[in-house]
Structure 1
Amino acid sequence: MRKSLMFTGIAAIAALALAGCSADSDPAASGSADTAWPESITISLVPSVEGEDLAEALDPLTAYLSDNLGIEVNGVVATDYAATVEALGSDQAQVIITDAGSLYNAMERYDAQLILRDVRFGATSYASVAYTNNPDKYCAEAPEMSTYAASGIELSYCNGIEEAGETATGQGPAALDALTKIDDGTKVALQAATSPAGYQYPVVAMREAGIDTDTGITQIPVEGNNNAVLAVYNGDAEVGFAYWDARTTVAEEAPDIADKVVAFAYTDMIPNGGVAVSNTLPADLVAQLTELMDGYADSSEEAKDVMFDLVGLSDWTDQTAPEQITRYGEILAQFQN
């Protein structure tokens, strides 16, 4: 099962390292199979729809779960992703659909169990990409073309991060040693400090490459992934960072983007959001809930529409890769305050 939420918010998170939270993607890891089921459970989420459309969008999912679980399943709207965590912590909700930072926070603070991850373009995570308009400096060999399957267009990559003539995979980390070629004063396009792909993961990667990101580079502030790419394309920055592969967002206005902007490195993978549950729920209930939500998108054509309309995703997967959530939390902790 694949695809993902289009969430943008990031909750503030605790700086402690996650210990034993794998909770493991095994639903039987929490609760007791002998514990009586509650008469009802509540799901907290931040929907993509607003106002009067909310009930219509939410009801099919909760009805599906209610009918198949045999208990009442309610849905409540959170004002932001951090509020989903607090709803779970106060037992106002027992299930949360939220972003990766909030998943980490819920696991760390309330021992929540990660049961599902959102998937986009066939993956539960994505890399931040280092782009350049100076391949002679950052590429060990001439750039080569690979196909970005989501859009069907060919884009340029170097340093072996993709195979020439093949479908690009976007899997990081890759070729991060090339970041050491960013020398003093280099203009680097970076997005807002709350952006994982446009700022946080790139800054951590550059710091780990020995670069002083405060005084060793010239930061070129941009808004949005498309503008990070365009800053490189237009020569305003020599290097820029954005999600994989943000070049497709400007392909119409810059048809020669693959010639002028080359991807030369990938950061660690940035996880999509997902679903977590309270550790108070019985294990057999968690197992059935996980299976039902995992299969929801395939249950009907209506379900596919509901998932996209409700929270902007097409599917969930029970392949949770909790270590990616842990790494995400550790990186976000560096940008608190």
Structure 2
Amino acid sequence: MRKKSLALLTLGTVAALSLAGCSAGTSDAPASDSAAWPESITISLVPSVEGEDLAEALDPLTTYLSDNLGIEVNGVVATDYAATVEALGADQSQVIITDAGSLYNATEQYDAKLILRDVRFGATSYAAVALTNNPDKYCDDEPIKATYAASDIELSYCNGTEKAGTDATGMGPAGLDAFANIKGAKVALQAATSPAGYQYPVVTMREAGLDTDSDIEEIPVEGNNNAVLAVYNGDAEVGFAYWDARTTVTDEAPDVADKVVAFAYTDMIPNGGVAVASSLPADLVEKLTDLMDGYADSSPEAADVMFNLVGLSDWTNDTAEDEIARYGEILSQFQN
């Protein structure tokens, strides 16, 4: 079979790419009903690793795909997620591993096909959690304790977000009626680019009838841990973070489970995933999807590569496109 050659380039802008897209020639791979397979395809991604670790991180994945597809699979590195979309739109890459917003943009702007979703610790999406140090105001019932299984830590929840004595699920939306009580409160919010720390909470507050410019006092924070600590320390009455960021501050705030209560979950925020150009033959897309879906289980090395390369435990072909569409709807409210 044809072996891959790894192209370690940086995608700053599409103009900076020097890789060719799909070759005009044909390979020995089987042709689909509508088109012959290209001799090569290029994957664009934003890896979790840097510098000298890049070749080592990318090589097992591209080799695996090249060997099993019988065509050359190249890998290029994007400087940011938006660059993956630009590369796909210019046919400088035909496969992108990217975040949820870029998946939405790629499907809307370039008719890309969403084929896989990222799986982190068994989940393809997560909620933004609304936290408070004032349960009397925000909880309709007594807070209960449930276990955040990933860290084996018991945390406090109310408004039916979780069930007492069980493993917490983190499934939203839940407890949204309590958002109306946020009016007049100090609210810890992260950067406007943060889905869990800003975008989903702000949209949910607006949907609850709040004017987020005048009805709350925004307390700017950097990072999910600081959003939790702002509530814990009393700098804010309400804060927002990913579920469940309280586990990140247990060293400096060992009684966070008692002092900071989760009273609501927003709609689920989708993980990223994999999209392909509409120009790729359908049977190539099908085989590529199956191979990438099975990559994490193909060997212990592959599982390590998966986590180290893009911080994932798996991919799944259960794409839940409605979550991506909802993300795009919310994202559009924060774009100029």
Q: TM-score, normalised by structure 2?
A: 0.90
Quick check: 1:254 aligned with 2:253?
yes
**1:96 has 2:99 as partner:** no
Show the counterpart of 1:310: 309
Partner SS for 1:49: coil
**3-state SS of 2:236 partner:** coil
Task: Give the counterpart letter for 1:273 in structure 2.
Answer: G
1:142 aligns with 2:132: no
SS in 2 for 1:258: helix
Q: Which residue in the other structure is 1:28 paired with?
A: none
Instruction: After TM superposition, list the pairs within 5 Å mapping 1:152-301 onto structure 2.
Output: 152-184=152-184, 186-301=185-300
Find the aligned partners of 1:60 and 1:33 in 2 and give their Cα distance: 30
AA aligned opposite 1:87: A
Q: Does 2:33 align with 1:61?
A: no
Distance in 2, Cα, partners of 1:182 & 1:52: 48
Q: Could you tell me how far apart the structure 2 residues matched to 1:41 and 1:249 are?
A: 40
Name the SS for the 1:82 alignment partner.
Answer: helix
Q: Which residue of 1 aligns with 2:323?
A: 324
Residue 111 of structure 1 corresponds to which residue in structure 2?
A: 111
Q: How far off its partner does 1:318 sit?
A: 0.7
Compared CA separation, residues 76 and 115, structure 1 to 2 (3 A) = same
Letter in 2 for 1:269: M
* Aligned-partner Cα distance in 1 for 2:296–2:284: 20
The letter of the residue matching 2:326 is: R
* Structure 2 Cα separation of the partners of residues 51 and 252 of structure 1: 32
Is there any run of 5+ residues in structure 1 with no aligned partner, and where? 1-30
Aligned residues: 306
Give the secondary-structure state (helix, strand or coil) at the position aligned to 1:142.
Answer: coil
Counterpart Cα distance in 1 of 2:103 and 2:194? 17
Report if aligned partners of 2:121, 2:313 keep a CA contact under 8 Å in 1: no
Partners of 2:32 and 2:284 within 8 A in 1: no
Q: Which 4+ runs in 1 deviate beyond 3 A? A: 31-34
Distance in 1 (alpha carbons) for counterparts of 2:269 and 2:329:
12
How far is the alpha carbon of 1:110 from its aligned partner?
A: 0.3
Q: Name the CA shift for 1:33/1:116 in 2 (closer, same or farther; >3 Å).
A: farther
The aligned amino acid for 1:46 is V
Deviations 1:305-325 (A, max 9, x none): 111221121211111101101
What amino acid is aligned across from residue 280 of structure 2 in structure 1? Answer: L
Alpha-carbon offset, residue 34 of structure 1: 3.5
- TM-fit CA distance, 1:183: 2.5
Gaps of 5+ in 2: 1-30
Q: Please state whether the residue corresponding to 1:200 is helix, strand or coil.
A: helix
Task: Give the match's secondary structure for 1:242.
Answer: strand
* RMSD across aligned positions (CA): 1.1
Q: In the alignment, which residue of structure 1 is the partner of 2:11?
A: none
* AA in 2 matched with 1:152: D
Structure 1, 31-40 or 83-92: larger mean CA deviation: 31-40
Structure with the bigger RCO (C-alpha within 8 Å, sep 6+) is 1
User: Could you tell me the TM-score, scaled by structure 1's length?
Assistant: 0.89
One-letter amino acid matched to 1:90: A
Deviations 1:31-62 (A, max 9, x none): 96442111111100111112222111111101
- How many angstroms apart in 2 are the aligned matches of 1:259 and 1:153? 12
Could you tell me which amino acid in structure 2 is paired with residue 262 of structure 1?
Answer: V
Q: What amino acid is aligned across from residue 103 of structure 2 in structure 1?
A: L
SS in 1 for 2:86: helix
Among all aligned residue pairs of Structure 1 and Structure 2, give the percentage whose two residues are the same amino acid.
Answer: 82
Aligned to 2:15: none
1:37 maps to what in 2?
A: 37
3-state SS in 2 of match to 1:302: helix
**Deviation of the 1:121 alpha carbon:** 2.2
